[in-house]
Amino acid sequence: MAGGLLSACMAVRPPGPGICRICCGAILGHYEECWSCRQIEERLGRPLTPITPISLAVDGTPVYTALKQYKGHHEPTARRQQLRLAGLIGIFLRHHTRCIAVEGFDAVAAVPSLQGRDGLHPLVTTLGLIGSLRPAIINALSPGTGRVARNSPSLEAYLTRHDLVVDRRILLVDDTYTTGAHLHSAAASLISAGAREIYPLVVGRRQNRAWPPSQHLAEWSALGENRWSSTRCIHCWSRDPAMS
């Protein structure tokens, strides 16, 4: 079902020297967190939960294209890309659910668009194509009154149904992560509503080749020994330092 996306994925370098412990982005200077994560953390007034990215998403690559097209208006193309992304996410979770959440999760929520759209968000539709996830999907988040911009989260960005999240371990899925303002706003809303644990999963960790540190991450991913594998995630890398 992944339709070639598995071979097109790009490995994400795990947290460590020069790599943010929250978002796996490049760091300039001697910090554990990148500038964007420090800004978002400060503005939310609470610690951020580290994400698990499946792949880098670089302009022009198949993963980036799938993430652009799966919510587009050309229905046949969108449906094909939803099937491919569902296959990728399903295979990744088959191997790494316990890497992400040692005790597992009992609910799955998607980060919705703040622009609003009719019907289900395409990410919810995509997750619903994964049989193992379908029963756990909850429609817990909806747009609120807060405005989110680059590096600028909001605790009021999302409304949360408390009855769906209280005391639950939630896999929070987002399609693309750039600065993380939307995802971390959604995570903060779920935590405020009483969720026990949040496990953020991101399909594509956005990288801009125009910024040299991001280009270096893409080059690292292209090295033969670092090539993406469905059986290896950032947590697997971290448990075996020899891998990185």
| Three-point CA angle 202, 173, 68, nearest 5° | 60
Helix axis angle, 35-44 to 181-192, nearest 10°: 30
Contact 174, 203 (CB under 8 A): yes
Helix (H) or strand (E) segment spanning residue 4: none
Print the domain residue range for 83. Answer: 5-243
Average confidence (pLDDT) per 10 residues, the chain, 244 residues: 89 95 92 95 97 96 96 95 98 97 97 79 97 97 94 96 98 97 98 98 94 92 94 91 54
pLDDT at 3: 77
pLDDT at 117: 65
Tally the domains of the chain.
Answer: 1
pLDDT at 78: 97
Contacts of 235 (CB under 8 A, 6+ apart): 14, 52, 96, 99, 100
Give the residue among 194, 192, 216, 218 at the shortest CA–CA distance from 204: 218
Contact 166, 138 (CB under 8 A): no
Contacts of 143 (CB under 8 A, 6+ apart): 112, 113, 114, 115, 116, 157, 158, 159
Cα–Cα distance for residue pair 174/124, rounded to 1 Å: 10
Give the residue among 178, 231, 169 at the shortest CA–CA distance from 204: 178
pLDDT at 244: 47
